[in-house]
Amino acid sequence: MFVSYILSKVRSYHLYRKTVRELAQLSDRELADLGIARYDIARVAREATFA
């Protein structure tokens, strides 16, 4: 039980990092098209991953 909880948290963190990395590679114009400001990348990734 505890191990599966830890594994799910590790997977979520890896997904969060991947999302941040992919969004950070987009240009400011591409981010604007998505309605995301560069400073919002971490928040958007956190909401998408942990919510």
* Per-residue pLDDT, 43: 97
Cα angle value 51/7/23 (rounded, 5°): 45
Domain count for the chain, please give it.
1
Q: Return the pLDDT at 45.
A: 96
* pLDDT tops 90 at residue 50: no
Q: Encode pLDDT of 6-48 as tens digits.
A: 999 999 999 999 999 999 999 999 999 999 999 999 999 999 9
* SS3 of the chain: helix, strand, coil, percent, to 5: 85, 0, 15
Amino acid 51: pLDDT: 74
Distance separating alpha carbons of residues 23 and 44, to the nearest angstrom: 9
- State the residue range of the domain holding 32: 2-50
The CA distance from 26 to 9, in Å, is 26
Closest CA to 23 of 1, 2, 44, 5: 44
* pTM for the full predicted model: 0.86
| DSSP-derived secondary structure letter, 39 | G
